[in-house]
Amino acid sequence: MRVLKTVEGVKRYLGQARRQQNAEDGVAVGLVPTMGNLHRGHLSLIERARLENSVVVVSIFVNPLQFGPQEDLARYPHTPEQDLRLCEQAGVDAVFMPTVTAFYGAAQPHSDAMTRVMPSKAMVAVLCGSHRPGHFEGVATVVTKLLSLVAPDRAYFGYKDAQQLAILKRLAHDLNLPSQLVGCPTVREASGLALSSRNSYLSEVERQQAAVIYRGLLAAQQCFQAGERLSSALTAAVAAELAQEPSLHPQYVELVHPETLQPLERVETLGMLAVAAHLGATRLIDNILLRDRQPIVAIDGPAGAGKSTVARQVAQRLNLLYLDSGAMYRAVTWLVLERGIDVQDEVAIAELVQDCEIRLEASGNDSAFAAYPSRIWLNGQEVTQAIRSTAVTAAVSAVSAQPTVREVLLRQQQQYGITGGVVMEGRDIGTQVFPQAELKVFLTASVGERARRRQRDLAAQEQPAVSLSDLEQAIDDRDRKDSSRRVSPLRQADDAIALNTDGLAIEDVVNKIVQLFESRVER
């Protein structure tokens, strides 16, 4: 593990790493920005980054720009030796630990001569922003600098700081920053208290008292699950629980949209209840997400595990929409061919795909579409049958491999997550597309089993015979490539249920997933 102290050192290290690693799909770099005093919450971010990237960089920097004059900059916990030990144990490749001067070029970077990044005023005006003037400007500045310096494929942040994550995602979108910002679940103590570096300020008694914050959020969640949707009632449920702990002094209890941070009077599809409170001299924050939509089923797994057939049948059994990502890529490919664009012209296709609006619907009982898992419209024109042509089949692989096409279709796929009611399969559905899915299943099968299935498929299609050993080698190579992809790597979500399909018929697998759904998911 390299410990780097300067901007130039980071540049040289990453330049060398990107040159030295021989990867067909490039070198994926993950960044975990921290202010040190690492705990299990930080380690969960590092673990996620380690799973998804070739190179993991952790920054440890107490950023003076995000502290107000009366805040705790001078006493913020500082544990560099422990932090480095934890990073090395977690498999971090490089830690960036600059001084203020090395990072900002001045020991006192509050000068008006310095360039600062101004986040959305509307997003800063609520929650913590109205109580900590200048805080999110400081956060936006330091994170923009880190993203510019490291140029990571992915940067990881905890959902505990949900306002920060929403602001940074908007910033990255507005400034066309290429890095993907990944939100990760809040890690909690046994009492429910969200882990935070500032928890080290609390005494053991105060730690137990602070747990009332999460209990308040859970009380509101119970009201929500019972049918309550009004902000006034949900925030009142939180406040009533907080009032049980006289040592706690709430600063705000608010309901906002988790992505836009706009205050909500009622939850329509998504809402976030957020709390800030003081316990002694320590300021604590926490939040909980409230969803009012149909459930989502995410099915992931390696090639040859039977995902597509299983997902289609599960969707039919549960009366949900099969979100046919393959049809979406075929629709874009069809339009590329219709416009006479070379399938290798990534620039032209990147411009074309920005104006593609795709809509999927279940095929229903219409006999004309019985052979198709779903019907699809592109810019208002139905293309369900047109996208199955041999020309589209021959070209879709080249088009679907292009990063811009994947990014645009990912955004459109995620729009279906707002209302839910979908089943989707792939490599990264439970980790990237729908990390909030109510049921995540990871279908597995041995290499030998998948090779035998492939051999049977080839025979049924009257294709030339291929030996089992050759098929096994090809599947093994495909697994390795899919797991190490720079974009959309194959990975089982932490909360996914693994289901080995060796020796099982399709109907058996479908039945097992339907049973899991019925036992675990409320509709």
Active site (catalytic) residues = 42
One-letter identity of residue 328: M
Q: Is 430 annotated as a binding residue?
A: no
Q: Is 208 annotated as a binding residue?
A: no
Q: Residue 4: what are its φ and ψ, rounded to 5°?
A: -110, 140
Q: Is 161 annotated as a binding residue?
A: yes
Q: Is 278 annotated as a binding residue?
A: no
Q: Is 37 annotated as a binding residue?
A: yes
Contact 10/150 with Cβ under 8 angstroms? yes
- 95 Cβ partners below 8 Å, 6+ apart? 1, 2, 3, 4, 57, 58, 59, 60, 83, 84, 87
Q: Is 130 annotated as a binding residue?
A: no
d(CA 359, CA 370): 18
d(CA 515, CA 522): 13
d(CA 5, CA 80): 13
Write the Ramachandran bin of 366: left for phi over 0, alpha for psi from -120 to 50, otherwise beta.
beta
Q: Is 42 annotated as a binding residue?
A: yes
Q: Is 38 annotated as a binding residue?
A: yes
465-484 burial code (b ≥16 CB/10 A, e <16):
eeeeeebbebbeebbeebee
Q: Three-class SS of residue 376?
A: strand
Q: Which residue has the tokens 């093994």?
A: 476
d(CA 102, CA 109): 11
Rg (CA), the chain: 25
Q: Is 26 annotated as a binding residue?
A: no
Quick one: tokens of 154?
A: 């992915």
H or E stretch including 517? Answer: helix 506-520
Given CA atoms 515, 521, 522, 523 in this order, what sign does their dihedral have?
Answer: negative
Strands 29-34 and 154-158: parallel
Contact 73/100 with Cβ under 8 angstroms? no
Q: State CA 27 to chain mean position distance.
A: 20
Helix axes 325-338, 346-353, angle to 10 degrees: 110
Q: Is 344 annotated as a binding residue?
A: no
Q: How far is CA 292 from CA 101, 232, 299, 366, 437, in A?
A: 48, 17, 22, 30, 13
Q: How far is CA 204 from CA 41, 190, 209, 218, in A?
A: 19, 13, 9, 22
Q: Is 70 annotated as a binding residue?
A: no
d(CA 178, CA 486): 13
Closest alpha carbon to 517 in 426, 421, 431: 421
Q: What residues are designated binding site for (R)-pantoate? A: 66, 164
Q: Which residues are annotated as a binding site for ATP?
A: 35-42, 158-161, 187, 195-198
| Residue numbers belonging to the annotated binding site for beta-alanine | 66
Task: Point out the annotated binding site.
Answer: 35-42, 66, 158-161, 164, 187, 195-198
